[in-house]
């Protein structure tokens, strides 16, 4: 017995409500395996490959490449065997459910033709270039490509737009004198939406400046060891380990507010979000079950995740389900900051720059490595006392890494 299952565009995380279908990697009539990549989609933050939750034969491709698709919209129909003893859930990936809107273009059901029709050659271009060209309404065939094999890049599209644009970026109405700024990009709009969602939670912040000289010395020793060869070992890595370790004795930090219940719910695993600044903007991919990783494994996970995020190719698995987040403004030479919560999470830890400063030790002034830590928290989930105690414990482990290592 067989049945046709519709695969819907899953929730791609960070409050994103839609994605552009870049290309299909399967064809009608092709047999697909579980977790085989079906298509590549592009959000405002990254290129994402969509794995198949089903085993079977592709019967219909319901969306054409280049279409902007809302989350929850059926995009492909796969027919496969059904075993009542081992049913496959249509909700293998997150983000399923009804959708109130249709794709921005008219949806086409792409069915096989008895006589295949020739298709015009597609101009080589990167996905981000195609997206930029669509948003600007320009023809890619008219833009010289500087990428590999003459492919058009996003920079090429930007150069073409600049050459056609008037001298001034903003336009002014002669009658009203109002200056109109250029339209916002999709990425900036998504960031704005996420920040609005974040501010719906009552947030507060606590600060603490700590002497982390012992931690910096430990990092220097570890970097020369074979275990960390090729890995990025930074103050962020150690702070992330301290954050995850401290949650074991402060479980409410790893909770979220459930509106339906009107109460906080503690999450089973620590999915640690790492705020990554990339060319496309800020993204927060997360490391699943970070509490199960030792320092070497965590350093490897942080390295792999940040490299993928900066390249814009983060796997969809890492873009959803985060429970806590850490961000590092110290890499920009900033002493500290007050971060906003990642929507749906109870805390975010901000790490400032580690710098040498005069520090009083036993009534004597010494030069020490010092850092400012900021913890922003959801006041519905945590009290000020709970947040302060948690931040103090994290700082203690960074000031005395032997305390941190004793928990490994």
Label the pairing between strands 203-211 and 364-378: antiparallel
Q: Is the dihedral of CA 26, 55, 16, 303 positive or negative?
A: negative
Whole-angstrom Cα distance, residue 69 to residue 146?
29
Catalytic annotation, pick one of 317, 318, 379, 407: 379
Asked if 377 and 325 count as a contact pair (C-beta separation under 8 A), the reply is no
Task: Read off the tokens for 120.
Answer: 């015009």
Asked if 271 and 323 count as a contact pair (C-beta separation under 8 A), the reply is yes
Task: Read off the tokens for 390.
Answer: 């948690």
**317 catalytically annotated:** no
Among 111, 147, 108, smallest CA distance to 130 is for 147
The catalytic site residues sit at 379
């Amino acid at each position: 017995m067989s049945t046709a299952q519709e695969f819907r565009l899953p929730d791609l995380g960070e409050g994103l409500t839609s994605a552009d279908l870049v290309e299909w990697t399967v064809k009608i009539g092709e047999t697909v395996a579980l977790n085989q990549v079906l298509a590549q989609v592009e959000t405002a933050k990254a290129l994402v490959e969509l794995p198949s939750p089903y085993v079977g034969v592709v019967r219909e491709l319901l969306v054409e490449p280049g279409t902007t698709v809302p989350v929850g919209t059926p995009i492909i129909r796969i027919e496969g065997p059904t075993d009542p003893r081992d049913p496959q859930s249509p909700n293998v990936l997150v983000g399923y459910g009804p959708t109130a809107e249709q794709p921005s273009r008219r949806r086409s059901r792409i069915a096989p033709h008895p006589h295949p029709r020739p298709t015009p050659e597609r101009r080589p271009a990167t996905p981000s270039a195609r997206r930029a060209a669509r948003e600007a309404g320009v023809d890619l065939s008219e833009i010289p490509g500087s990428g590999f094999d003459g492919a058009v890049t996003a920079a090429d599209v930007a150069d073409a737009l600049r050459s056609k644009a008037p001298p001034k970026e903003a336009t002014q109405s002669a009658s009203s004198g109002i200056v109109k700024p250029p339209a916002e990009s999709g990425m900036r709009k998504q960031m704005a939406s996420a920040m609005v969602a974040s501010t719906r939670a009552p947030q507060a912040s606590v600060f603490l400046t700590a002497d982390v000289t012992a931690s910096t010395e430990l990092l220097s020793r570890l970097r020369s060891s074979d275990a960390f060869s090729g890995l990025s070992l930074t103050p962020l890595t150690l702070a992330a380990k301290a954050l995850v370790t401290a949650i074991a004795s402060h479980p409410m930090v790893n909770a979220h507010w459930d509106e339906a219940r009107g109460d906080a719910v503690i999450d089973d695993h620590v999915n640690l979000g790492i705020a990554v600044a990339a060319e496309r903007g800020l993204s927060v991919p997360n490391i699943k079950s970070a509490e199960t990783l030792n320092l070497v494994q965590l350093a490897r996970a942080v390295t792999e995740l940040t490299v993928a995020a900066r390249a814009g190719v983060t796997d969809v698995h890492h873009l959803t389900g985060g429970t806590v987040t850490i961000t590092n403004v110290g890499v920009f030479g900033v002493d500290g900051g007050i971060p906003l919560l990642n929507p749906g999470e109870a805390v975010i830890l901000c790490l400032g720059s580690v710098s040498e400063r005069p520090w009083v030790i036993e009534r004597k002034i010494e030069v020490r490595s010092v850092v400012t830590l900021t913890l922003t928290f959801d006041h519905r989930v945590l009290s000020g006392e709970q947040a302060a105690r948690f931040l103090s414990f994290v700082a203690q482990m960074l000031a005395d890494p032997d305390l941190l290592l004793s928990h490994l």
